[in-house]
């Protein structure tokens, strides 16, 4: 349902507008292809995989996968790890199907037209494939829905895909494109918003004008925040962390610029916590979790980030080299970014439609933990 207010249209979802298919017990496995253009002289199959794909499995894991017949060379299964590779060889690794961890499958539709769809993502559902979650993602449900609907779009036009990310434990508004044109323009809007912060630390009005969008979150933070308003501009970078191949995002003086505006909604002195509204004016991974922990108020239930915007505990030199059942690494014993338990909700999005240029606002209903803390105005 849409309501016109000034120059902005506000959309509220129908309580019956949702979709999602239950997940199968096993996923379909995965296939990874590589083409060797000009390998080093004498390069063997095990040399190649243990070096290039070290983040996927240790040496013993790749030996196990090769000997199991999970790798083909130019279409032929090769179980000898010492096989010497030649130029222009096609290598294919077949990852066997596995049971993915539990994830919810229903998605509520907050807004939809021919170009884009805004979803209310539940906590516990990953947006894009990664790690143990390759099928149980928002992307998969979007693709299934588009296929089952019998879309009139051609394969060249159709592109059901999220255009930004929310952490697996974060709930709320997730904006997705339905066409390639919409994907390109929405991606540009998100990039413009971040570049406005990277540039010249513009005023709020300038940032919103340049980015043509505003993203507002609700969060439940540890401790009582004394200030009514807090602006956090701590840069965010990465550090080496077991179980996170590309590095863990943390508060770092040498990181990329990031800007969050925090507004206190309610102080719960009795339970030593604060309900806050956060507007992010950049889109760094885990930005709100890092920024609130940086000022000493990590999210209630956050298993990873503590005061200072750093991980709770880790030894960057410790990596478990033992082999899991599928040949990969065992799940890290320390917390990782995808772990849930914290309270963060993408509540409102104001956006200039990339196709119609209409300015509209979408609101995702608050989860129960925030409803119980709502202020009565």
> pLDDT-based confidence at 271, cuts 50/70/90?
very high
For residues 226 and 297, what is the distance between their CA atoms, to the nearest angstrom? 11
> pLDDT-based confidence at 117, cuts 50/70/90?
very high
Query: Tell me, what's the pLDDT at 13?
Result: 56
**Average pLDDT for the chain:** 87
Under 8 Å between Cβ of 353 and 258: no
Q: What's the pTM?
A: 0.86
Flag whether pLDDT at 242 surpasses 90: no
pLDDT digits (tens, 9 = 90+) for 71-114: 999 999 999 999 999 999 999 999 999 999 999 999 999 999 99
CA nearest neighbour of 67 among 331, 323, 332, 320 = 323
Give Cα separations from 200 to 133, 206, 207, 259 (angstroms): 38, 10, 10, 12
Flag whether pLDDT at 57 surpasses 80: yes
Query: Tell me, what's the pLDDT at 149?
Result: 80
Query: Tell me, what's the pLDDT at 40?
Result: 79
Query: Tell me, what's the pLDDT at 103?
Result: 98
Percent of the chain with pLDDT over 70: 85
Helix axes 59-67, 45-52, angle to 10 degrees: 130
**Class of residue 267 by CB neighbours under 10 A (exposed 0-12, middle 13-18, buried 19+):** middle
CA nearest neighbour of 351 among 143, 159, 230, 185 = 185
Flag whether pLDDT at 6 surpasses 70: no
Q: What does the pLDDT average to over 259-287?
A: 94
**In 10 A of CB 209, how many CB atoms?**
13
- Please tell me the CATH superfamily of domain 30-95, with its number: RNA-binding S4 domain (3.10.290.10)
Answer positive or negative: Cα dihedral of 356, 110, 186, 252. positive
**Class of residue 293 by CB neighbours under 10 A (exposed 0-12, middle 13-18, buried 19+):** buried
pLDDT digits (tens, 9 = 90+) for 309-347: 999 876 655 555 567 778 777 777 789 999 999 999 999
Query: Tell me, what's the pLDDT at 151?
Result: 63
Query: Tell me, what's the pLDDT at 200?
Result: 43
Q: What does the pLDDT average to over 228-246?
A: 92
Query: Tell me, what's the pLDDT at 154?
Result: 67
For residues 206 and 56, what is the distance between their CA atoms, to the nearest angstrom? 43
Under 8 Å between Cβ of 278 and 230: no
Q: What does the pLDDT average to over 292-305?
A: 97
**In 10 A of CB 367, how many CB atoms?**
19
For residues 340 and 170, what is the distance between their CA atoms, to the nearest angstrom? 8
Runs of H (alpha helix) within the chain: 45-52, 59-67, 138-149, 180-198, 204-211, 287-294, 368-371
Q: What does the pLDDT average to over 342-366?
A: 93
**In 10 A of CB 268, how many CB atoms?**
12
Query: Tell me, what's the pLDDT at 72?
Result: 97
DSSP state, 323? B
Query: Tell me, what's the pLDDT at 209?
Result: 38
CA nearest neighbour of 116 among 188, 175, 191 = 175
Higher pLDDT, 191 or 171: 171
pLDDT digits (tens, 9 = 90+) for 190-206: 877 655 555 444 444 33
B/e letters for 137-163, b = 16+ CB within 10 Å, e = fewer, are bbbbbbeebbeeeebeeeeeebbbbbb
H/E stretch holding 75: none
Query: Tell me, what's the pLDDT at 206?
Result: 36
Query: Tell me, what's the pLDDT at 68?
Result: 95
Q: What does the pLDDT average to over 60-64?
A: 95
Q: What is the DSSP string of 78-118?
A: ---TTPBP-TTEEEEEEEPP-PPPP----EEEEEE-SSEEE
Query: Tell me, what's the pLDDT at 205?
Result: 39
pLDDT digits (tens, 9 = 90+) for 129-167: 988 899 999 999 999 998 888 666 666 688 999 999 999
> pLDDT-based confidence at 179, cuts 50/70/90?
very high
Higher pLDDT, 10 or 290: 290
Helix axes 180-198, 204-211, angle to 10 degrees: 160
Higher pLDDT, 212 or 202: 212
> How far is C-alpha 259 from the chain's CA centre?
19
Query: Tell me, what's the pLDDT at 201?
Result: 44
Same fold for the pair 2-25+100-371 and 30-95: no
Flag whether pLDDT at 218 surpasses 70: yes
**Class of residue 291 by CB neighbours under 10 A (exposed 0-12, middle 13-18, buried 19+):** buried
Q: What does the pLDDT average to over 28-52?
A: 92
Flag whether pLDDT at 60 surpasses 50: yes
Query: Tell me, what's the pLDDT at 202?
Result: 40
**Domain spans of the chain, in order of start:** 2-25+100-371, 30-95
CATH fold for domain 2-25+100-371? Pseudouridine synthase (3.30.2350)
């Amino acid at each position: 349902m849409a309501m016109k207010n000034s120059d902005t249209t506000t959309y509220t979802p129908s309580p019956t507008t949702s979709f999602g298919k239950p997940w199968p017990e096993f996923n379909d496995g995965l296939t990874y292809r590589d083409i060797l253009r000009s390998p080093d002289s004498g390069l063997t199959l095990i040399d190649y995989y243990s070096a290039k794909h070290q983040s996927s499995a240790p040496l013993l894991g790749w030996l196990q996968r090769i000997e199991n017949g999970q790798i083909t060379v130019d279409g032929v299964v090769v179980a000898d790890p010492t096989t010497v590779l030649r130029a222009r060889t096609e290598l294919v690794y077949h990852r066997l199907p596995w049971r993915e961890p539990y994830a919810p499958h229903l998605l509520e539709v907050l807004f939809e037209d021919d170009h884009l769809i805004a979803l209310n993502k539940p906590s516990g559902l990953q947006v894009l494939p990664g790690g143990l979650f390759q099928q149980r993602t928002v992307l998969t449900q979007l693709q299934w829905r588009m296929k089952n609907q019998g879309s009139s779009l051609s394969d060249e036009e159709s592109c059901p895909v999220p255009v930004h990310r929310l952490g697996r434990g974060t709930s709320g508004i997730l904006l997705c494109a339905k066409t390639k044109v919409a994907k390109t323009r929405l991606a540009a809007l998100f990039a413009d918003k971040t570049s406005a912060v990277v540039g010249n630390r513009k005023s709020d009005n300038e940032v919103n004008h340049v980015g043509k969008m505003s993203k507002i979150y609700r969060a439940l933070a540890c401790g009582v925040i004394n200030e009514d308003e807090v602006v956090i501009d701590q840069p965010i970078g990465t550090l080496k962390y077991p179980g996170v191949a590309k590095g863990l995002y943390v508060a770092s003086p040498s990181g990329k610029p990031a800007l969050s505006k925090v507004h206190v909604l309610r102080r719960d002195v009795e339970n030593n916590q604060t309900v806050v509204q956060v507007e992010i004016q950049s889109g760094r991974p885990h930005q709100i979790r890092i920024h609130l922990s940086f000022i000493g108020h990590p999210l209630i239930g956050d298993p990873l980030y503590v005061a200072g915007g750093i991980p709770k505990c880790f030894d960057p030199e410790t990596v478990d080299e033992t082999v899991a059942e599928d040949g990969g690494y065992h799940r890290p014993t320390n917390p990782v970014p995808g772990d849930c338990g914290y309270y963060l909700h993408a509540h409102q999005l104001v956006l200039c439609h990339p196709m119609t240029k209409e300015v509209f606002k979408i609101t995702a209903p608050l989860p129960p933990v925030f409803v119980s803390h709502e202020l009565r105005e």
